[in-house]
A and B are shown apart, each in its own frame.
Chain A
Amino acid sequence: MSKKKTDATPEKNTAAKAAPEKTGSASAISATPPESVSATSASAAAPVNAALSADERVELYRRMVRIRRFEERSLRAYQSKKIGGFLHLYIGQEAVAVGCCSLMGKDDHVITAYRDHGHAIAVGMDTKPLMAELYGKVTGCSKGKGGSMHYFDPTRNFWGGHGIVGGQVPLGTGLAYAIKYRGLKGAAMAFMGDGAVNQGAVHEAYNLASLWDLPVIFVIENNGYSMGTSQARSSAGELATRAAGYDMKWEVINGHDLYEVRAKMDALLRRAREESKPAVVEIKTYRYRGHSVADPDKTYRNKAEIEEYQRTKDPITLFRTMLLAEGHLTDELVDKIDAEARSEADFAADFAEASPFPTADDIQRDVYWEADNPAQRVSGGRLFFN
């Protein structure tokens, strides 16, 4: 058996998958325009993008803006100590989650690491329970039990945010196994950071996926850093090409360009669904904030690097410029989307603020599903001994 390991070229495309359902309100971004932005991207002409209606394009843009505004709002809540624990912001990476998740069909599934707010919004989760989760409220998407790193919504095929670096990757492979086992034409996307590629679990997952032809796309979101360690200081060789050792197809994608993310991911997802083949993609992106809000971000990169990136490669600004050039977006609509995203985020924060905390009784709920009732919990230490 010999599989080709090449930079994949988009395979035959039919119609584009519809973007996921819209949720709530919208928003936009107000960064200064980049100095040099190509108004059109080569991938814009790819069938999956060419087939997008004006509304669908605007919705993709809106979704990125909503993620950014949500996170900016959550940052403010964190700074005023409304949120505890860690807060890993996704700002700068929005085109990755939105691009990939916009391709999801009903049998496609997603799993990611602890930097999960973007994916949650990209799959269509409502921002109110997301914000409430950060506040530790019982109305949160995980009832206040998970926090920032542990968002879940199985009803949207979103199998969570996970806290152990690389640990979610075998799980993503398991999602693909279940899809194949059930004979469905779906695929799983397992997102990870560039630091996660060095975990043994990731390599074991690669091997299983390739050995058994599982429909999983391993998506490396390469933002250049794992905490304070740059890729050069943590990883030998190229990240994507490691797939070659497992006889898997691989691809490198420019993650600043939403159209490119969609065009290349669409090809691989189709192949996964149709032929049940795994692949590894490395999507080049960047995070603007520290590793977490608690990370002062001073020792490992300089401000100029971040500013240069924001100025020339911001995924939201780039997409907006393209949509304006395409005539799908107007300045007026840009402002409207942005205003709506801001008020949506404020509204989510108000909702979170007004919600109750879980009670001490809730601590022992959701431990065993079959025993999840008060009588069992006070039964003197059989199931829940304290």
Chain B
Amino acid sequence: MPIITYREALRHAMAEELTRDENVVILGEEVAQFRGAYKVTEGLLEKFGPKRIVDTPISEAGFVGMGVGAAMLGIRPVIELMFWSFYSVAFDQIVNNAANIRYMSGGQINCPIVIRGPANGGTNVGATHSHTPENILAHHPGVKVVVPATPHDAKGLLKSAIRDNDPVFFLENTILYGLEGEVPAEEYLVPLGHADIKREGTDLTIVSYGRPVIQSLAAAQQLQQEHGLSVEIVDLRTIRPLDIDTVLKSVAKTHRVLIVEEQRPFASVGSQLAYMIQNEAFDELDAPIQRLGTIDAPAIYSPPVEIEQLPNSQRILKAALAAASA
């Protein structure tokens, strides 16, 4: 299987869908001439032309709202937010319009929009550029929230997202853009709403998504080698709809759970997950559910300290040992 980066996987997904369906358009700041702030859309302008790869002004409320309107009329806009952190500027369009339109119209109107771009911290860009909004987005019924961790999933999930008839919020990770992985040469889809077991194990389940999956895999390797601990890693991939069954199956196997997320712990995806696990698999648990997240403060700029604020393999290792011996 060819090995490509997460960034390329996303680009290939868009290129394939642009080719397949002429209603697909890419809109966003610097996506065309500048080739994308993070170069995800590089080369698409040359291939598909300025009618389909469109640079917008810096006006998130305007172009996200415009995307919602166009989607109502059958266009399939893929909108790049230069950073997901800027979702707040377009929040009204996202939650009042995109999320509600199908329900409010009694099912008469679909909104097949994808909003994608990098989220998360770890690049020392401080409090306004390091948001993890997946919990806030997922709170709104009617939307789908996807966070891929590998190139394979990034491509397959984005293709599904573009074909989906509901608004899909697709959160990438700046640090993962350079991550390499195997991606099939032939066309494939990864369906939305299905978690994936990224590593099999018997002693502890780590439930995670996004970049912490990669960090957890590294920690699990070390735990196996140095502590003989067998860790199973469940990658949620889609936050909403949430595939709780795969999580519960894993819990039934290991009886211990550590949730690792790059979210602040208060009212996070992990909070919801912990509730669902204890509610539906209380009898399977041998120990309280543990959580590891971002230390509860806005993103600190200072580079060496931000590493400590976020989950990292060492913090995960420590938390996993504690969870396994609790």
Interface residues of A (CB under 8 A from B): 84-86, 133, 136-138, 142, 144-147, 149-150, 162-167, 195-196, 198-201, 226-229, 233-235, 299-300, 357-360, 362-364, 367, 381, 384-386
Assembled-state Cα–Cα distance A167/B128 (Å):
11
A227-B34 contact given A199-B59, A201-B89, CB 8 Å threshold: yes
Question: Are B57 and A147 neighbours in the complex by a CB distance under 8 Å?
Answer: no
Question: Are A360 and B308 neighbours in the complex by a CB distance under 8 Å?
Answer: yes
- Give which listed residue, A133, A144, A195, A300, contacts B58 with CB less than 8 A: A195
Q: Any chain A CB within 8 A of the CB of B321?
A: no
The contact string, 1 if C-beta is below 8 Å from chain A, for chain B 62-92, is: 1000000000000000000000011011000
Q: Any chain A CB within 8 A of the CB of B293?
A: yes
Assembled-state Cα–Cα distance A360/B295 (Å):
9
Question: Are A136 and B303 neighbours in the complex by a CB distance under 8 Å?
Answer: yes
Question: Are B128 and A299 neighbours in the complex by a CB distance under 8 Å?
Answer: no
Question: Are B62 and A200 neighbours in the complex by a CB distance under 8 Å?
Answer: yes
Q: Provide 21 A-B residue pairs closer than 8 Å at the C-beta atoms, listed in order of the A residue.
A: A85-B125, A85-B301, A137-B302, A144-B302, A144-B305, A145-B298, A149-B126, A198-B62, A200-B59, A200-B62, A228-B30, A228-B34, A229-B55, A234-B58, A299-B34, A357-B302, A359-B305, A360-B295, A363-B300, A363-B308, A385-B266
Assembled-state Cα–Cα distance A162/B127 (Å):
10
Question: Are A147 and B124 neighbours in the complex by a CB distance under 8 Å?
Answer: yes
Give chain B's interface residue range (CB within 8 Å of chain A).
Answer: 35 or more
In the bound complex, residues from chain A placing their C-beta under 8 Å from that of B126 are 85, 145-147, 149-150, 163
In the bound complex, residues from chain B placing their C-beta under 8 Å from that of A138 are 302
Which B residue's beta carbon lies closest to that of A384? B296
Question: Are A198 and B305 neighbours in the complex by a CB distance under 8 Å?
Answer: no
Assembled-state Cα–Cα distance A226/B304 (Å):
30
A301 to chain B: closest CB distance in Å?
11
Question: Are B124 and A357 neighbours in the complex by a CB distance under 8 Å?
Answer: no
Q: Any chain A CB within 8 A of the CB of B43?
A: no
Which A residue's beta carbon lies closest to that of B88? A164
Assembled-state Cα–Cα distance A138/B85 (Å):
25
Question: Are A163 and B128 neighbours in the complex by a CB distance under 8 Å?
Answer: yes
Question: Are A199 and B296 neighbours in the complex by a CB distance under 8 Å?
Answer: no
Interface SS of chain B: loop
Assembled-state Cα–Cα distance A120/B43 (Å):
39
Q: Any chain A CB within 8 A of the CB of B102?
A: no
Interface SS of chain A: loop
- Give which listed residue, A145, A227, A367, A384, contacts B302 with CB less than 8 A: A145
Assembled-state Cα–Cα distance A320/B35 (Å):
39
Assembled-state Cα–Cα distance A201/B90 (Å):
11
A367-B297 contact given A85-B123, A136-B304, CB 8 Å threshold: yes
Which B residue's beta carbon lies closest to that of A162? B128
Question: Are B296 and A386 neighbours in the complex by a CB distance under 8 Å?
Answer: yes
A340 to chain B: closest CB distance in Å?
29
In the bound complex, residues from chain B placing their C-beta under 8 Å from that of A166 are 58, 89
In the bound complex, residues from chain A placing their C-beta under 8 Å from that of B34 are 227-229, 299-300
Assembled-state Cα–Cα distance A48/B186 (Å):
71
- Give which listed residue, B35, B62, B125, B309, contacts A299 with CB less than 8 A: B35
Which A residue's beta carbon lies closest to that of B305? A358
Q: Any chain A CB within 8 A of the CB of B29?
A: yes
Which B residue's beta carbon lies closest to that of A138? B302
Assembled-state Cα–Cα distance A3/B222 (Å):
71
A386-B57 contact given A164-B128, A360-B308, A363-B295, CB 8 Å threshold: no
8 further contact pairs, Cβ within 8 A, besides A84-B303, A198-B57, A227-B34? A85-B124, A85-B301, A136-B301, A147-B126, A200-B61, A226-B57, A384-B297, A386-B265
Q: Any chain A CB within 8 A of the CB of B163?
A: no
A357-B301 contact given A195-B58, A299-B35, CB 8 Å threshold: no
9 closest residue pairs by CB, A with B: A147-B301, A136-B302, A163-B128, A228-B34, A84-B124, A85-B124, A144-B302, A84-B303, A198-B57
Question: Are B59 and A136 neighbours in the complex by a CB distance under 8 Å?
Answer: no
- Give which listed residue, A145, A195, A358, contacts B57 with CB less than 8 A: A195
Assembled-state Cα–Cα distance A384/B264 (Å):
10
Q: Any chain A CB within 8 A of the CB of B317?
A: no
In the bound complex, residues from chain B placing their C-beta under 8 Å from that of A357 are 302, 304-305
Question: Are A226 and B300 neighbours in the complex by a CB distance under 8 Å?
Answer: no
Question: Are B89 and A198 neighbours in the complex by a CB distance under 8 Å?
Answer: no
In the bound complex, residues from chain B placing their C-beta under 8 Å from that of A362 are 300, 305
Which A residue's beta carbon lies closest to that of B128? A163
Which A residue's beta carbon lies closest to that of B301? A147
In the bound complex, residues from chain B placing their C-beta under 8 Å from that of A147 are 124-126, 301-302
In the bound complex, residues from chain B placing their C-beta under 8 Å from that of A363 are 295, 297, 300, 305, 308-309
In the bound complex, residues from chain A placing their C-beta under 8 Å from that of B61 are 199-200
Question: Are A227 and B37 neighbours in the complex by a CB distance under 8 Å?
Answer: yes
A134 to chain B: closest CB distance in Å?
9
- Give which listed residue, B29, B30, B300, B308, contacts A145 with CB less than 8 A: B300
Assembled-state Cα–Cα distance A147/B130 (Å):
13
Which B residue's beta carbon lies closest to that of A202? B59
Which A residue's beta carbon lies closest to that of B293? A386
In the bound complex, residues from chain B placing their C-beta under 8 Å from that of A84 are 123-124, 301, 303
In the bound complex, residues from chain B placing their C-beta under 8 Å from that of A136 are 124, 301-305
Assembled-state Cα–Cα distance A200/B308 (Å):
36
Question: Are B300 and A358 neighbours in the complex by a CB distance under 8 Å?
Answer: yes
In the bound complex, residues from chain A placing their C-beta under 8 Å from that of B59 are 198-200
